Amino acid sequence: MLFQVLRWTAAGLLLASASTAQQQPEQSVNPVGRSEEAIAEGHELYNRTCTVCHGLNGAAGDRGPALGGGRSYVIRSDNSIFDAIQNGISGAAMPASGLRPMEIWKIVAYIRSLRATASDAFVPGDIARGERIFREKGRCGSCHMIGGHGGVAGPDLSNVGGERTLASIRDSLTKPRLQIPRGYQPVEVVAIDGRKIAGIAKNNDNFSLQLLDSQDRLQLFTSDELREITYKRESLMPSDYGTVLVPAELQDLLAFVSRQVVHKAERRRRTQEDDQ
């Protein structure tokens, strides 16, 4: 869901961003591009030729590292990955593959896609129309901020394209979420004086509750001030954009959201939960 921040990718992203933040986003030299078709073909080639050592679907194998997990693979350029597959890695067990160049490029596209965030992915669609859908038909802006404008009930999406994969953003829009992330749990409370307040639990424990109410005001309670606390099972994030929007509109929205990246100066905070 859009709420989820892929915290585990953060360290890798920071490394990746360090090399690109000073410049324009890296232009791929890969002649097969980053299309879903090329990635699918690369995936198939990968599973046929690389899994003996590296494991299936980019996971760790018996003899080689997990290409989907190691952060060093994220910062390798397309050329260096191509070179490793074509010529092997001197001094390591990685042999020359013997594959044809175009096959290798497809595998490169696949490896890159394993850890690519949405902003690195090929996302067709009309960005301007996607922004209008974000603000108007989709009403995303009533809960989410981008670039300092929008609502505060949901996470700020200014850097979502730099944090989330395309697949996870699409899932957020179209599939019910299984778990509501910390800080966005919908809750309704009844105070001792009978007042009913609905909102989002920014934090909670046995003895207190910090709530952002439906008027976007912070309300702070200790448990003895509350008669009832009801945690809602469903996130406030709608999961029906697959039906509310026609496919072209959804694609435009994805194109817009995927490109929300804040370069160097304002990269989203790293691992909030790890540090709490």
Partner 1 sequence: MTNRSASACLLILSLAPAAAQVSYEQMLKADPGNWLTYSGSYNSQRHSLLKQVNTTNVHALVPKWIYHVPGAGRLESVPVVVDGVMYLSQPNEVHTLDARTGRLIWQYRREPALRRGPNRGVAVYGNRVYFTTPDAYLVALDARTGNFLWQSKIAEAKEGYWSPAAPLVINGKIIAGVAPGDYGMNGFLDAYDASTGERLWRWNAIPRPGEPGSDTWAGDSWKTGGGDTWLTGSYDPQLNLIYWGIGNPAPDFNGEMRKGDNLYTECMVALDADTGRLKWYFQFTPHDVADWDAVEIPVLVDATLQGRPRKLLVQANRNGFYYVLDRTNGKFLLGTPFVKSVNWAKNLTAEGRPILVPGVEPSLQGTKICPSTSGATNWMSPAYNPDTGLFYVAAIEGCGINTKSYEKFRPGGFPFDATGYEESPEEPRQLYVRALELTTGKLKWEFKQIGSRAYGAGLLSTAGALIFAGCDQGIFTALDANTGTPLWHFNTGQAISASPMTYTFKGRQYVAVEAGSNVIAFALFDE
Q: Which residues bind partner 1 (CB under 8 A)?
A: 14, 17-18, 21, 128, 131-132, 135-136, 141-142, 145, 148-152, 156, 158, 183, 202-203, 205, 207-208, 210, 212, 215-218, 220, 222, 264-270, 272, 275-276
* DSSP single-letter state for residue 107: H
Q: Which is nearer to partner 1, 17 or 185 (CB)?
A: 17
Q: Which is nearer to partner 1, 86 or 210 (CB)?
A: 210
The minimum distance between CB 142 and partner 1, in angstroms, equals: 6
The minimum distance between CB 266 and partner 1, in angstroms, equals: 6
- Among the listed residues 11, 91, 37, 54, the one whose alpha carbon sits nearest the alpha carbon of residue 268: 11
Concatenate the DSSP letters of all residues of 208-257 into one string: EEEEEETTS-EEEEEGGGEEEEEE-SS-SS---HHHHS-HHHHHHHHHHH
Separation of alpha carbons 159 and 255, rounded Å: 14
The minimum distance between CB 251 and partner 1, in angstroms, equals: 18
Separation of alpha carbons 166 and 57, rounded Å: 17
> What 3-state class would DSSP assign to 78?
helix
Q: Which is nearer to partner 1, 81 or 140 (CB)?
A: 140
Q: What is the largest CA-CA distance in the chain?
A: 76
Q: Which is nearer to partner 1, 21 or 244 (CB)?
A: 21
The minimum distance between CB 202 and partner 1, in angstroms, equals: 5
Q: Which is nearer to partner 1, 67 or 200 (CB)?
A: 200
- Among the listed residues 115, 36, 29, 122, the one whose alpha carbon sits nearest the alpha carbon of residue 77: 29
The minimum distance between CB 161 and partner 1, in angstroms, equals: 15
Q: Which is nearer to partner 1, 61 or 151 (CB)?
A: 151
Separation of alpha carbons 266 and 21, rounded Å: 11
The minimum distance between CB 39 and partner 1, in angstroms, equals: 29
